[in-house]
């Protein structure tokens, strides 16, 4: 690996996760490099529009060029392009918002598409959001169908706690993943945000590998009530299966379930 490129990438990650504003000294400590080296990298990144320096504080923030790169990524993301119509179908059928996401760095789910809930009320676009995999149904549904060894590695890695209901015990998560493999869908009960819940299923490619996940998110009382949970789960699983067919997945590649 080229060390300067690796350090530049780490600077961008630190600004995206620890920022939004960090000075040269702070970044040097986080990256593990000298202040002159980090300053030189920041000047180069600034010239390319990837970071910008705030005049009032002299601290650095992410730059506008990253948004253009992000938009380019989304435009070429196959799961996003193939899921637009299916996400809209699921949003209409469930009456809830629909997220489509991919696994990023074995720790987070990255939202590549967001279909708004049909109806009134203020809604915030979550496109580009990242959520720890263990705190969302999207992540659990995808990780459940990864190869066993990779699953073990992910379970042994960092597990985030966003609320008091976040599950951070590897053994408990392993049981949830096993249940997901049986049912074909995963649940989240206020593990990312209090009052919010999720139901999601994985999307498979022609080789039987999970390429992402699709699911609904909304108030816990609407998603996980006895009257609605199974209805929503069936809808999510059916749409995920149809979306998987677009990727060439066979009929029996994902799971065998009898309701």
Convert the pLDDT of each residue in 159-178 to its tens digit.
999 999 999 999 999 999 99
Is 148 inside any structural domain?
yes
Rounded to an integer, what distance in angstroms lies between the CA atom of residue 210 and that of residue 102? 9
Structure tokens at 218: 């909304």
Range of the domain at 194: 77-246
For residues 161 and 238, membership in a common domain is answered with yes
Rounded to an integer, what distance in angstroms lies between the CA atom of residue 64 and that of residue 144? 36
CA atoms within 13 A on the CB side of 195: 0
For residues 110 and 47, membership in a common domain is answered with no
For residues 27 and 120, membership in a common domain is answered with no
pTM higher than the cut 0.75: yes
CATH code of the domain in which 12 resides:
1.10.10.10
Predicted confidence at residue 253, as pLDDT, reads 57
For residues 95 and 223, membership in a common domain is answered with yes
User: E strands along 27-107, which residues?
Assistant: 51-53, 60-62, 97-104
Pick from 13, 40, 67: which residue ends a domain?
Answer: 67
For residues 102 and 156, membership in a common domain is answered with yes
CB 207, CB 217: distance < 8 Å: no
CATH code of the domain in which 141 resides:
3.30.450.40
Beta strands at 97-104 and 60-62: parallel, antiparallel or unpaired: unpaired
For residues 38 and 115, membership in a common domain is answered with no
**Nearest alpha carbon to residue 102 among 210, 241, 232, 227:** 210
Predicted confidence at residue 258, as pLDDT, reads 35
Predicted confidence at residue 257, as pLDDT, reads 39
Rounded to an integer, what distance in angstroms lies between the CA atom of residue 35 and that of residue 51? 17
For residues 16 and 59, membership in a common domain is answered with yes
Provide the β-strand partners of residue 197.
189, 218
Structural domains of the chain, count: 2
Pick from 47, 67, 87: which residue ends a domain?
Answer: 67
Predicted confidence at residue 105, as pLDDT, reads 84
Structure tokens at 75: 């435009």
User: 127 phi and psi, to 5 degrees?
Assistant: -60, 130
For residues 133 and 189, membership in a common domain is answered with yes
Predicted confidence at residue 74, as pLDDT, reads 67
Predicted confidence at residue 252, as pLDDT, reads 61
Rounded to an integer, what distance in angstroms lies between the CA atom of residue 109 and that of residue 162? 14
For residues 224 and 175, membership in a common domain is answered with yes
Burial of 252 per CB tally in 10 Å (0-12, 13-18, 19+): exposed
The pLDDT tens digits for 176-210 are 999 999 999 999 999 999 999 999 999 999 999 99
Residues of the chain falling short of pLDDT 70 = 18-19, 71-76, 120, 251-259
Rounded to an integer, what distance in angstroms lies between the CA atom of residue 4 and that of residue 14? 15
For residues 32 and 91, membership in a common domain is answered with no
For residues 56 and 145, membership in a common domain is answered with no
Provide the β-strand partners of residue 245.
none
For residues 157 and 190, membership in a common domain is answered with yes
Predicted confidence at residue 18, as pLDDT, reads 67
Pick from 67, 86, 106: which residue ends a domain?
Answer: 67
CB 125, CB 114: distance < 8 Å: yes
């Amino acid at each position: 690996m080229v060390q300067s490129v690796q350090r530049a990438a780490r600077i961008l990650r630190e600004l995206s996760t620890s920022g939004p504003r960090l000075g040269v000294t702070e970044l040097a400590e986080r990256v593990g490099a000298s202040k002159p080296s980090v300053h030189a990298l920041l000047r180069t990144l600034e010239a390319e529009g990837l970071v910008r320096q705030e005049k009032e504080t002299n601290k650095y923030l992410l730059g506008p060029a990253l948004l253009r790169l992000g938009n380019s990524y989304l435009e070429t993301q196959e799961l996003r392009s193939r899921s637009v119509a299916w996400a809209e179908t699921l949003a209409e059928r469930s009456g809830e918002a629909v997220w489509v996401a991919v696994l990023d760095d074995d720790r987070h789910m990255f939202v590549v598409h967001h279909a708004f809930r049909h109806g009134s009320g203020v809604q915030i676009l979550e496109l580009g959001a990242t959520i720890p995999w263990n705190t969302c149904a999207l992540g659990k549904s995808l990780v459940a169908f990864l190869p066993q060894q990779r699953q073990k590695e992910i379970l042994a890695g960092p597990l985030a706690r966003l609320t008091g209901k976040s599950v951070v015990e590897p053994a408990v998560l392993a049981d949830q993943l096993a249940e997901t493999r049986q049912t074909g869908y995963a649940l989240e009960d206020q593990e990312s945000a209090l009052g919010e819940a999720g139901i999601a299923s994985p999307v498979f490619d022609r080789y039987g590998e999970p390429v992402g996940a699709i699911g609904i998110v909304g108030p816990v009382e609407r998603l996980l009530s006895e009257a609605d949970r199974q209805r929503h789960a069936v809808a999510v699983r059916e749409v995920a299966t149809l979306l998987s067919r677009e990727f060439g997945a066979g009929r029996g590649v994902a799971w065998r379930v009898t309701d």
